[in-house]
A and B are shown apart, each in its own frame.
Chain A
């Protein structure tokens, strides 16, 4: 038995699920990227530890120059089952594209 085991055997095991750190979503902007891109998630006790954990987990191979962390429960997400109505196909709605419209005569610089 090494010291680690001895140390843990003298302390009562915490109740499972008693102390879970909150979940954070991590967004990383890469060297050449213009915007932050979702990289994954992690557990951390607070925002500044979440940033440090994100640095260790998601930027250790030189992936990023900037990190955002957001509490996962602060993100309002669309319902993945709402595909039909929510993400209705824009087919047949050509008027949403600029090319639908004909150029008026005499308009320059378009």
Chain B
């Protein structure tokens, strides 16, 4: 194929919101040269993909450990959704450097990961996971919705699929925030503690830098999402009678490869099999 990235008729990018774009389609388009991300777009896709990948890894720890079987399935579904988004973003990012999604997921070192600190935070108890999930969904939903209008057709197509799934993640976490806050004294204590634990990581999500400025219409300026995030959180917090925690912001730096002490353990577990047995399949 000789079509260029910007050509909206390129087969892999002729995706309407109703048609799901699979990571395999992106990988194939990349191999055929129909889709190749620019250096900046690839770096941006890497950030979004790493956020989703690290969160999927964290969430999958809940399988067999959730309070009820039904919640096990719900969290497992959300983990798989996030993994799907990660695969798409990483496949596309890899097109710039001739790397596959697996190369990027399994064979990068910690300073090469671009995820924000929120996503690598330990699961804690169920309420802490719900607090993290609520923050993530309130950030990702407007982000992906705006990204569907990206001037980069592949990013727009990936976002079009992801936004519908994140819409459900938002609903799921909102329902649980309301129930934990309005449930028993113990559940209310836990959701308040969960938000207190996660809140320092909120600021980093909305930080702009040179890359997001250079991207222009291809990306979404992180700071432009903050007002909607605050409104979305305030609506639910008012109903749940929760206060926005006053915790000071954490240092951050995830977008530039500086991670918290939790990241190394997470990566070691995620990558050990692929590194021990390169090319293993099952």
Contacts and interface: CB of A to CB of B under 8 A. Distances in A.
**A and B form one complex:** yes
A56 B77 CA distance: 8
Interface string B57-83: 000011001001111011001000000
Interface in A44-71: 44-46, 48-49, 52-53, 56-57, 60
Contacts of B62: 4
A42 B70 contact: yes
A53 B74 CA distance: 7
Nearest to A24: B70
B125 A11 contact: yes
B124 A3 contact: yes
Interface residues of A, number: 19
A74 interface: no
Interface in A8-56: 8, 11, 21, 42-46, 48-49, 52-53, 56
B196 interface: no
A56 B70 contact: yes
Contacts of B243: none
A53 B70 contact: yes
Nearest to B78: A56
B13 interface: no
A103 B32 CA distance: 73
Given A49-B175, A52-B171, A57 B61 contact: no
Interface string B158-191: 0000000000000110010001000000000000
A44 B125 contact: no
A48 B69 contact: no
Q: How large is the interface on B (under 10, 10 to 19, 20 to 34, 35 or more residues)?
A: 20 to 34
Does more than half of chain B's interface fall in helix, strand or loop, or is it mixed? helix
A44 B61 contact: no
Contacts of B70: 21, 42-44, 53, 56-57
B122 interface: yes
Given A21-B68, A45-B179, A56 B74 contact: yes
B186 to A, nearest CB: 9
Nearest to A6: B122
B88 interface: no
A7 interface: yes
Contacts of A57: 70, 73
Contacts of B61: 2, 4
Contact of A4 (B65, B77, B179): B65
A3 B65 CA distance: 12
18 contacts: A2-B61, A3-B122, A3-B124, A4-B65, A21-B68, A42-B70, A43-B68, A43-B70, A45-B179, A48-B175, A52-B171, A52-B172, A52-B175, A53-B71, A56-B70, A56-B73, A57-B70, A57-B73
Interface of A: 2-4, 7-8, 11, 21, 42-46, 48-49, 52-53, 56-57, 60
